[in-house]
Amino acid sequence: MASSEEDGTVEEKENNNKKRTKSTLATAWLTFYNIAMTAGWLVLAMAMTRFYIQKGTHKGLYRSIARTLKFFQTFALVEVGHCAIGIVRTSVIVTGVQVCSRIFMVWFITNSIRQIQSEESVILFLVVWTMTEIIRYSYYTFKLLNHLPYFIKWARYNLFIVLYPVGVIGELLTIYAALPFVRRSGMYSMRLPNKYNVSFDYYYCLIIVMLSYIPLFPQLYFHMLRQRRRMLHGEVIVEKDD
């Protein structure tokens, strides 16, 4: 009996040690990742500021930062993996939708259609994204380090009230500006007849994307408002099961 109890104790200790090791490694990786992403978006902010000071115009700004923007925004796909393997307790679907919608805006709209790259709406959502991501990744970094300044927490759960809607307006106006060019060029579209016997119209796809903001934006926005009440005012939010 004593031997079996000792074996059980040893096994339990080994399991606990493994869990602590995994937790330590996960925390180390997440800290590194968030520091890197904070630095990346700070580089973007400085590059945009420097360009505007030097040129005195926003025209050409997107092209000057496009490579850096595409790298850091695409690298955010790692966050979907974080959710999938459980080192971050966030919905894979919610994170996937948010990250992929950003990547779609960068690669399949702004980067693909040069005629819209100097639109004011592009600069609008870029400025909002940059501010949002610097605040968000800073928040996660300081939280992981157990040294979260209140002003970072305040910014995380207050500035989105304005930034989120403004960013959505910028994205929608950019997609709207792209529609005429997409329709004329027929980009990413497949017309019948073709050997696959499949028809796809990117123009109408973009319209559907715009319409999808109607149900999705309120859900995400009110979710953030609930999070704000919980984090800043200590309210207990009871989530209803679907």
Of 143-152, 183-192, 205-214, 226-235, give the lowest mean pLDDT range: 226-235
Q: Catalytic: which of 119, 137, 171, 203?
A: 171
Does any domain span residue 107?
Answer: yes
Does any domain span residue 6?
Answer: no
3-state secondary structure of 190: strand
pLDDT for 232 = 86
pLDDT for 240 = 42
What are the percentages of helix, strand and coil residues in the chain, rounded to 5?
80, 0, 20
Can 62 be counted among the known catalytic residues?
no
Q: What is the pLDDT of residues 111-138, one digit of tens each?
A: 999 999 999 999 999 999 999 999 999 9
Of 74-78, 82-86, 88-92, 172-176, give the lowest mean pLDDT range: 88-92
Beta-carbon contacts of 48 under 8 Å, excluding residues fewer than 6 positions away, are 61, 65, 126, 127, 130
Does any domain span residue 2?
Answer: no
Does any domain span residue 240?
Answer: no
Does any domain span residue 241?
Answer: no
Does any domain span residue 9?
Answer: no
Region 181-209: mean pLDDT is 93
Domain that holds residue 89: 15-233
Does any domain span residue 4?
Answer: no
Can 171 be counted among the known catalytic residues?
yes
Q: Catalytic: which of 164, 176, 188, 213?
A: 164
Question: In this structure, which amino acid lies at residue 156?
Answer: R
Q: Is a pLDDT exceeding 50 seen at residue 241?
A: no
pTM of the model: 0.88
Structurally, how many domains does the chain consist of? 1
Does any domain span residue 10?
Answer: no
pLDDT for 196 = 85
Q: For the chain, state the CA radius of gyration.
A: 22
Q: Is a pLDDT exceeding 80 seen at residue 3?
A: no
pLDDT for 233 = 80
